[in-house]
Amino acid sequence: MDSIPLEQSRVSWSASDIEDDIDSNGITARWTSEANFRSILQSITWQGGYVTGFGFQLAPNQNGGPGLNYTRNQSYAIDIQELSSAGSGSQTILSTIHTELFTMPASIVQANNVIYLEFDGPVYLDAGTYGFNLRPTDIKGGNVLVLAKSTNGEDTIALGGGAQNAIPGVLDVNYPIASIDIDFLCFVTNASPALQLRTLGITLAENQNGGAGLMFNQSQDYALDIYELDDATSETPVIESLLHSQEYTIKLEDVSPNRVLEFQLNTPLDLEYGGSYGFNLRPVEIIGGNVLVVARSETGARSLTYADGRGAQPTTEISMSSSFPVSSADFNLLFYASDQAPLIKRIQYGPTNTYFTYTHTNGFWPDSHHAVIIEGAFPQYGKAIHWDMDNGTSQLLYNFNAPLKMYYSVSSNGKLITTIRNKLHVIDLNGIEEPWIAYDAGSTSGIWSLTDCPDITTDGRFAVTNINAVSLDQHTVTIFDLENSGAIDLTLTFDEVMNHVHFSPYDENWVMFGHSGGHPSEYRDRIWAHNPVDAPNCAQLWNQLGPDGTSYDIGHERAVFHKEATIFVAYRGSTAGGGLGEVSFQGDFNMLSSSDRYWHCNINQTGTYALVDSIVTPGEPPCDVLLIDLSTGQASFLYRGSRDQHPYHPHPHFSPDGNWVIFNDFDTQSPIAIELL
The answer on 202 and 332 residing in a single domain is yes
Q: Are 160 and 236 members of one domain? A: no
Most confident residue range from 96-100, 174-178, 329-333, 368-372: 368-372
Number of domains in the chain: 3
On whether both 135 and 12 belong to a single domain, the answer is yes
List pLDDT tens digits, range 318-330.
666 667 776 554 4
Which of 290, 314, 342 delimits the end of a domain?
342
In a domain, residue 158? The reply is yes
pTM exceeding the 0.85 threshold for the entire prediction? no
Q: What is the mean pLDDT of residues 571-583?
A: 91
Assigned domain for 667 exists:
no
What does the H/E/C string look like for 436-502?
A: EEEEEHHHHCCCCEECCCCEECCCCCEEEEEEEEHHHCEEEEEEEEHHHCCEEEEEEEECCCEEEEE
Query: Regarding predicted confidence, which is higher, 293 or 342?
Result: 293
Residue 208 confidence (pLDDT) above 60: yes
User: Tens digit of pLDDT for each residue in 102-123?
Assistant: 888 888 898 888 888 878 767 7
pLDDT above 70 as % of the chain:
81
Residue 24, pLDDT score = 40
Looking at 472, 504, 536, which one is the last position of a domain?
504
For 69, 193, 195, 368, 494, the CA distances from 340, given in Å and listed in that order, are 38, 16, 10, 26, 47
What pLDDT was estimated at residue 331?
A: 54
**Would residue 651 count as lying in a domain?**
no
Name which of 155-164, 275-284, 591-600 the model is least confident about. Answer: 155-164
Q: Which of 289, 309, 342 is the last residue of a domain?
A: 342
pLDDT, position 620: 67
- In this structure, the answer to whether residues 151 and 244 fall within a common structural domain is no
> Do 43 and 178 share a structural domain?
yes
- One domain for residues 269 and 150: no
State the average pLDDT for the chain: 83
CA torsion 302-304-309-310 (nearest 10°) is -70
Residue 617 lies in a domain: no
Q: What is the CATH number of the domain that holds 144?
A: 2.60.120
440 and 497 assigned to the same domain: yes
Most confident region among 79-93, 512-526, 546-560 by mean pLDDT: 546-560
d(CA 67, CA 543): 38
Question: How does residue 618 score in pLDDT terms, banded at 50, 70 and 90?
Answer: low
- Do 60 and 90 reside in the same domain of the chain? yes
Q: Is residue 548 part of a domain?
A: no
Q: What average pLDDT score do residues 130-137 get?
A: 89
For 197, half-sphere exposure in the C-beta direction (CA atoms, 13 angstrom radius) is: 21
- pLDDT for 657: 95
Q: Is the pLDDT of residue 192 over 50?
A: no
Does residue 43 carry a pLDDT above 90? Answer: no
pLDDT tens-digit readout, 228-271: 888 777 778 888 899 999 999 999 988 988 788 888 888 778 77
- On whether both 318 and 428 belong to a single domain, the answer is no
Is 201 found in the same domain as 183?
no
Give the domain range for residue 470. Answer: 413-457+459-504
Residue 564 lies in a domain: no
Give domain status of residue 535, yes or no.
no
Max distance between CA atoms of the chain, in angstroms, equals 84
Q: Are 567 and 557 in contact (CB under 8 A)?
A: yes
Whether 338 maps to a domain, the answer reads yes
Q: Quick one: pLDDT at residue 182?
A: 61
Residues 231 and 329 in one domain: yes
Pair (175, 212) in one structural domain: no
Q: Which range has the worst mean pLDDT, 330-339, 444-453, 545-554, 573-582?
A: 330-339
Evaluate if residue 53 carries a pLDDT over 90.
Answer: no
Residue 595 is predicted with a pLDDT of 86
pLDDT at 303: 32
Q: What average pLDDT does the segment 55-84 reach? A: 88
